[in-house]
Chain A
Amino acid sequence: MESQGPSPGGDIPLLPARMVNEFTYCPRLAYFEWVDGEFADNAETTEGRFHHRRVDQAPVRKAKQAEEEPAETTIHQRSVWLSSERLGVTAKIDLVEGEGTAVVPVDYKRGKRPHTPQGAWEPERVQLCVQGLLLREQGFTCERGVLYFIGSRERVEVPFDEELMARTYELLDGMRLMTQATVAPAPLVDSPKCPRCSLVGLCLPDEVGWLRQPHEGESPALRKLIPSNDDALPLYVQTPGAKVGKDGECLKVKDHDEVIGEARLVETSQVVLYGAVQVSTQVVQELCKRNIPLVYCSSGGWFYGMTTGLLHKHVELRRRQYAVATDRERCLQLARRFVQAKIANCRTLLRRNHRAAPDTVLQELKNDQAHAGAVESLESLLGVEGTAARRYFSEFAGMLKEAEPGARFDFEGRNRRPPRDPVNAMLSLLYSMLAREWTVTLQSVGLDPYLGFYHQPRYGRPALALDMMEEFRPLIADSAVLTAINNGEIKQSDWFERMGSVTLTPEGRRRLIETYERRMGQEITHPVFGYQISYRRVLEVQARLLGRYLLGEIPELPPFTTR
């Protein structure tokens, strides 16, 4: 897609006719694409582009099609680009044909002719009409246009009658007004357009619609418009000295001269490198181009940073984030919510997995949760959080099965830097993985992962990622550690002790990462929306909801708590 940012002079850029088409389909969609600079491909847009490219360049076909045109045609011009300052629009017209001063714009569309009374949907007719207006500006007479449907090889005539003209002017005005707004128009309600919309995953029409209304805690049965199993997956490279190269459509990992694995680019969501692993510039460029983050960690799992493509265009979102981050009261509100949700999830994990969770501890955690909701400062909140964490970790060992006799998985509370027992080592590794996951997710939706509301910014610390991960620690990381130990996926032989600190073997770490990734892919019922969704998608939905909250579209950021 061509996208034009605002020109340096600060004047409003010309609207592409294509965007008027989107606006007619749904104003919110046009806002996302035009104002926020969001563009997501789906099967339809990709196919459309593929056909267009062929239309634009195929010379053989061009000649053949020209023969099919009526013999008297004297104008036959492909890819005509016209703009008008007066109308404020610009368009690339696939084909202009005609005779003398009377011309007809022809627009190529993928697929078959739709069966509607007018032979085409309104957005296409309006887009064509804009092209007609541009031709008229050039002094041509233009009374009609043609839509050519590639799928069924049919031409549909669209007369530029008064009704269509009036509608087109009305939409152009509406669109100009919209570009000045700082927040997107409201989502469509229960519309059949949404399931076919390429931006449905970031728009969240039903979710936002539901969260905007006042409601009681009941889960609605929302349409599931976001697929949960379409995810691309991460590639981890932890072999010291390995090299990552590109081979066609795949990433190829070599250890010395031996190929140790391949990953398809289309299926890769991020590339995570532990320690001394080399990547070629070609790989870095390809990953940037495809918007696949490249993440660097120390061999021990410490997150150094990441390389991504260009920064997200959605400036307004970051502006709102900064405004909220400097507002003490709103920071406190959000911080209370993060801590409350985290304590709730810790308590649930204990209740479900402990051999005999003492009622007193469960009750105390419940009190902590209430307490966290009432504190008046970030400092007291830190205190409450610390107390709750100590209570929770003092009972953590009760969730571990006595797997191997003599195995030392005993756990006496949380310790880190360096972790002194295997459970702590595993928790530390998975927390840093979760923090990385959140950093990538937040950045990909256009937020700044380094500026948080509860955690304060410190050098290199992704404070917002740490905020957002609070309630997911028990659900994803702690729970994956329990699975790894209780299912015997990690054994005593998978870790070794050196000078009081404990480290996993590379093989042990590989298995732990796999357990974590399995957890991320697990489908659960979304507690707020009631549909089945994987944790991986939950994170993305939650990050987008944070964006919707910061932009003022929804009154609260719903906590993610399980029962």
Chain B
Amino acid sequence: MTPTHGGPGEAPPVALRTEALEQLLTERGLIDPKAMNEVITTYETNVGPLNGAKVVARAWTDPEYRRRLLRDGTTAIDELGFSGRQGEHIVVVENTATTHHVVVCTLCSCYPWPVLGLPPSWYKDPAYRARVVKEPRTVLSEMGLELGDDVRITVHDSTSEVRWLVLPERPAGTEHLSEEQLVPLVTREAMVGVAKVAAP
């Protein structure tokens, strides 16, 4: 194999090649740099479960925000600047020691992606969509979440009218953590209700 880097006659860096390709495509009208910037911004900043994690961490640390969030999810989430397509009509339900909520979209795969990012592949799986409604305890157990018999499970079906977001339980032993420190603990799975948040 001939190395393609290092030494004299080194190939220009890949960043330059990317720029060259972008120039050529722009000149030929194949891409519009403005539209492309929007695509990048959407994926970088608007599509990500981190937004949902920020909502959860705020609710864990600010009781007043938590109340607002549970009363009117869309407005409270919008307060943090997360809104837009597929982010309308979000209803937030809270998991406790005795109540557990899990979200599914039985018809298609409605999903609040401004707060949760792109849906995980299992979420669109017909088996998950069909079975979680009929036997949630079994399906959750198969996904690694064992719930005691005293825990009441409610399954919420997302539609274009209502998209559900689960506010997971704040794990024990995280009382000393700040809002910023809590954010990375919150996973997409926990906000769909198929996992719990673990303490670090």
Q: Do A and B bind each other?
A: no
State the B residues within 8 Å of A (CB): none
